[in-house]
Structure 1
Amino acid sequence: MLKQQNSPTREIINLDGLYHFKVDTDRRGLTEQWQRSRLETTLEMAVPASYNDVFANKAIRDHVGWVWYQQDIHVPRGWKDERIHIRLESATHEGRVFVNDALVAEHSGGYTPFSADITDHVEPGSTFRLSIAVNNELTQETIPPGTINVTAAGRREQRYLHDFYNYAGIHRSIWLYSTPAMRVEDITVVTGFEGPTGSVDYRVDVAGSTGREQILVKVLDALGEEVAAGEGAEGRLSIPNVNLWKPGQGYLYDLEVAVHENGQLVDVYRQPFGVRTVEIRGAQFLINSEPFYFTGFGMHEDHVTIGKGHSSALMVNDFQLLEWVGANSFRTSHYPYSEEVMDFADRHGIVVIDETAAVGMNAAFAGFFGEGGKKTYAEDFVNDATAASHRRAIQELVARDKNHPSVVLWSIANEPDISEAGARDYFLPLAALTRELDPTRPVGLVSELRGTPEANTVSDLFDVLMLNRYYGWYTQTGDLESAELVLEEELLKWQEKYAKPIIITEYGADTMSGLHSLYDQPWSEEYQAAFLDMYHRVFDRVDAVVGEHVWNFADFQTSKGIIRVDGNKKGAFTRDRRPKAAAHLLRRRWTGESGK
């Protein structure tokens, strides 16, 4: 799905701001059709933002179910002969969009966009009532999965097996935009190079085609100068003296697609892209045929007050901290991030491991989160309905992010059970689907401690080994000498058995900022630094390790429970982005003073 954009044939209006807001406490809104009239509420809620921490109301924070947003929207009178669309960049986890009384769009999955053509429901020059119902419920048919329990007091309670808070609401922007009836609907760009010449294979999908249109394409460099041109819905263009997109150097071109009919311009769209290649060669990860070593973090879209809501200012600050610490990459743990984040990474040469929201699919964690034991691949947990949602999540992720040069690796799940019977049958078709959708990028999933070289059943299906390991924290707690031995022993086994690149996608220790100790005491800043330093010594001794992503970039909020005090504290930065001692240690390593 192409993003909305202004062009000579298109216009966009941002619909962010304050909306009338109502919590559907009794789950009556859909049956009573609240979209048919003004919401009976005094509450207002900002878009984009999670609603959980905004109100001084525990019932709203803990609400499980639907909430409603409503606002009157004016349609420009100049759009009289245009198609009119509405687009939500996300609604977590389910959204239904109403224009006046009519349902125009519905979508499940909290982190990818959806849109609707609303031309037949609105009049240019007039106002319509926009109502959006958003549901935060996680079930065994959603990605991520979850369950809903009823407490002894009769309150509905959301349970899930992932370790970050289930923030909800409209987290990203809402757009109203116009297009011609015949329009560019999708563009796919695949790049390569040989010597100084770049290649651009492109495919254009046109909606409303009459069969008489002419499609003209050209490549514009960063200064807007034409460097290649062609004709047709698909083809290959050559760029002489190409500027490659590289880690740290986010050089972008535009593929400008213009649709003409009867000699007249009908539609034009510009798709940014970067020329670069990705390849796995033995145990090396290559970008532009050069070995690449990942340094950075697993991150979260998580900030005080706004939760997972997107903020451009906070995004820029996070990227500034990534630059300061010397990080060249991050993983979108554990869901697709805002499109603005991906665009920023493209422009600034930051490498991204792009992950679906398939997290918490591991029955072994049930005890950790206070639930009884169960099997993972079973009718009451990860089942056929879960797999169907997982397939859609992969399809939507690839469709959204396929043209981002920053994305070099698809991660289709985080810490699923890969040793239990049923894992291989579940992941074999998903790995194949991802490669079918995009043959140009490697595919992987992230494994937890129990998915050892001996016990896992799926690692041969993937191109890269992505490992989350916490020796010295969840096991060998406080004993870094023993942890160092078992960590190195396991990594050498992976290296010998698979001879594939290994990225340590999580390693870290919870740390209270300001807690100091003369000794390596768990929870102290000294222990976190010593923990990371030990892991780095091991990484430097294992040739197949091609990346290190610390867990986590910053402290983040989690669900309630005795295992967390105001969230996960493994951040190198605090939740308000103050550096711990670990951040300075990482900066010394990643800016070239030591390490690989």
Structure 2
Amino acid sequence: MRYLKLTAFLLGACVALTNAIADIAIQNPDSRNAIILDGRWDTIIDPYENGYYNHRYEESDKGYFKNAKPANPSDLVEYDFARSPKLNVPGDWNTQDEKLFLYEGTIWYHRDFDIGKKTDQKYAIYFGAVNYHATVYLNGKKVDVHEGGFTPFQFDISEQVKSGVNSLVVKVDNHRERDQIPTVNTDWWNYGGITRSVKVLQYPKAHIQDYFVQLSKTEEGVLEGWVKVENFSKENADAQKVELRIPELNISQKIPLNKNGEAKFEIATKPILWSPESPKLYTVDLHYMQDVVHDKIGFRSIQVQGENILLNGKSVFLRGISIHEESPLHAGRAWSEEDARILLTWAKELGCNFVRLAHYPHSESMVRMADQMGLLVWSEIPVYWTVLFNNPTVYSKAENQLEEMISRDKNRASIIMWSMANETPNSPARLKFIGQLAQKARELDSTRLITAALDTQSDENGVKAIDDPLSSIVDVIGVNSYCGWYAATPGSCASLKWVSRYRKPVIMSEFGADALQGLHGDKAQRWTEEYQADVYNNNLAMIDNMSFLRGLSPWILKDFRSPRRPLPAVQDFWNRKGLLSDKGIKKKSWYILHDYYMKKAGD
């Protein structure tokens, strides 16, 4: 028998999530009426930011955002979007124009859109991602700014938008600064531009802003969650309800809103549980007055028990691979559904049930495709290497990106781990910084595991000891180790012993070696496929002796661009640690890992 509890039930983490990020991008924008603004945009390259500052380096009131046109032949206007170069959106600028390949700085983007404004509707401009600083202008007026290159954001433009043609201008700046997340030094390409889709959303003034639907962690056979309504009618407030429908589970419930516009629920039911073997997704519909939202959501549980990771109550070994957001279809940043399908199909073909999406939140297309295809996901924010851990402003930037990542993806069954950081040096400031992030993540979402990738193991008489104090904070310990490439010889790796001072599951989150696809030679010769294959053979032998290991995500599925890798005729600004070349061609190590995973899957 199904029932509905409309009592004081409250998920502490869920309420915290609602309150903390109510102003972040609307949940599931693809389910809204929208004008899609993808396509060719006018652009102006502006390395000196002349379109923003006057000659006294003061913010100008006559910048490029005005999109001015000479009123008569004597008018002085020193720019013209209409006659300027075009760039594709979504897309990075680095791979669309050869002269922009290494460019870091400001480019202005412009396009017009036409709309018939309705007084009973709200309008928002939504960006899937802009790297790194975005300043948005509509009809010559500043709307707002956003910092962070991999998470979505939206601004309410209900007051600024007008019926007819509207001029949208975005100042995009990808120059690197020490106080950013990530900071100045990374091992991936700093692709600049409007790198994911842009749309104008239209929805009722009273609308569903956010929601969270999940399996209960404490009661078997119970779905629980909440819905947040913005601008709900306070007239006859007691009668205001949200309707939740999950047709396949015969759920159709009307849930009253409280004074904060929140509807909370517990519903007894027995869904087919989502798993890599059976990635079942249910159609979930939410209705409030004139607003309707549709989603596809899977239900599963994830927890740790000692050194085991339990998926739906059963121990699981994570056969994984790390992935960068490098397109398999074209040069540059991946963003499309087809990009995601190809990358994840390669992972499935390799024998994976798990992917580490490094080192930043990947596109929503990627995580939704993982939901559909049945791949467990590690999702990460770019607290990478040596950020300024003592700087409160930097912490705020990291926390904001964490909130935006969790807000967007909290309903995705595939995501089982939120990662706080990668390869950060041990220090009290770093421990406090990442510890606070972990605490925040648990407040925002108590249903998933917390992890981080560590590379600060100690070496004691030939034994590698996992002793990073950050291990005490996370639920699952990630270990990055490049035995045979950055340290030791490949042949020495197989006999390397590991110990852990924590009774927790461990994932070998990175290992590997570079190889130029097609370059062959002796296994002792760097850069050859044979050398990489020897590293894999010996590291997999080492991994088999790690009794506490519950998964691995070697580095990496496919070669990816990196300015740290200039070696001519070998790297050419590519990190060559991929099992696939930049063209998608398999190297010898692909087959070694594939065979290993086939054996693991059969165990």
The equivalences for 1:11-410 within 5 A come to: 11-31=33-53, 32=60, 33-37=63-67, 40=80, 41-57=83-99, 60-76=100-116, 79-124=118-163, 126-146=164-184, 160=185, 162-192=186-216, 198-211=221-234, 212=237, 214-221=240-247, 226-232=250-256, 233-238=262-267, 240-259=269-288, 265-303=289-327, 306-361=331-386, 377=389, 383-410=391-418
The 10-residue stretch of structure 1 (318-327 or 560-569) with the greater mean CA deviation from structure 2: 560-569
1:245-275 residue CA offsets vs partner (Å, 9 max, x unmatched): 112322112332211xxxxx32121233211
The equivalences for 1:558-577 within 5 A come to: 558-560=562-564, 562=566, 564-577=571-584
Letter of the 1:529 counterpart: A
The answer to whether residue 571 in structure 2 is matched with residue 546 in structure 1 is: no
Distance 2:444 2:249 in 1: 32
Distance 2:593 2:177 in 1: 39
Distance 1:18 1:483 in 2: 51
* SS of aligned partner of 2:442: helix
Letter of the 1:91 counterpart: V
**Does the 8 Å contact 2:454/2:478 carry over to 1?**
yes
Letter of the 2:50 counterpart: R
Task: Check 1:6–1:569 CA distance in 2 against 1; reply closer, same or farther (3 A cut).
Answer: closer
* SS of aligned partner of 1:120: coil
Letter of the 2:547 counterpart: D
Note the C-alpha offset of 1:358.
1.2
Number of residue-to-residue matches in the alignment: 542
1:537-558 residue CA offsets vs partner (Å, 9 max, x unmatched): 2222222101011101100000
Task: Check 1:561–1:241 CA distance in 2 against 1; reply closer, same or farther (3 A cut).
Answer: closer
Distance 1:239 1:570 in 2: 48
* SS of aligned partner of 2:404: helix
Distance 1:179 1:421 in 2: 47
TM-score by length of 2: 0.85
**Does the 8 Å contact 1:54/1:305 carry over to 2?**
no
Note the C-alpha offset of 1:234.
3.0
Note the C-alpha offset of 1:3.
4.2
Letter of the 1:252 counterpart: L
1:308-359 residue CA offsets vs partner (Å, 9 max, x unmatched): 1413322221122112111111111000000111111112211000100111
The residue number in structure 2 matching 1:426 is 433
The residue number in structure 2 matching 1:436 is 443
Distance 1:182 1:348 in 2: 35
Note the C-alpha offset of 1:560.
4.7
**Does the 8 Å contact 2:27/2:211 carry over to 1?**
no
Distance 1:405 1:75 in 2: 36
State the percentage of identical aligned residues.
25
1:93-117 residue CA offsets vs partner (Å, 9 max, x unmatched): 1111111111113110111111112
**Does the 8 Å contact 1:2/1:187 carry over to 2?**
no
* SS of aligned partner of 2:338: helix
The residue number in structure 1 matching 2:493 is 483
Distance 2:467 2:346 in 1: 38
**Does the 8 Å contact 1:293/1:547 carry over to 2?**
yes
Note the C-alpha offset of 1:481.
2.6
Letter of the 2:395 counterpart: A
Note the C-alpha offset of 1:42.
2.4
Letter of the 1:202 counterpart: G
Note the C-alpha offset of 1:306.
4.2
Letter of the 2:91 counterpart: A
The residue number in structure 1 matching 2:470 is 458
> Alpha carbon RMSD of aligned pairs, Å?
2.3
Q: Which runs of 5+ in 2 are unaligned?
A: 1-24, 54-59, 69-78, 257-261, 459-463
The residue number in structure 2 matching 1:578 is 585
**Does the 8 Å contact 1:330/1:353 carry over to 2?**
yes
**Does the 8 Å contact 1:329/1:351 carry over to 2?**
yes
* SS of aligned partner of 1:22: strand
1:427-463 residue CA offsets vs partner (Å, 9 max, x unmatched): 2222211111111111111111556747623211111
Task: Check 1:540–1:309 CA distance in 2 against 1; reply closer, same or farther (3 A cut).
Answer: closer
2:482 equivalent among 433, 446, 470: 470
Task: Check 1:115–1:595 CA distance in 2 against 1; reply closer, same or farther (3 A cut).
Answer: same
**Does the 8 Å contact 1:588/1:594 carry over to 2?**
no
Task: Check 1:533–1:219 CA distance in 2 against 1; reply closer, same or farther (3 A cut).
Answer: farther
Note the C-alpha offset of 1:71.
0.6
* SS of aligned partner of 1:533: helix
1:172-226 residue CA offsets vs partner (Å, 9 max, x unmatched): 000112100100011122314899x7322121111112223622333325xx674
The 10-residue stretch of structure 1 (229-238 or 510-519) with the greater mean CA deviation from structure 2: 229-238
Note the C-alpha offset of 1:228.
4.7
TM-score by length of 1: 0.86
Task: Check 1:411–1:594 CA distance in 2 against 1; reply closer, same or farther (3 A cut).
Answer: closer
Note the C-alpha offset of 1:238.
3.1
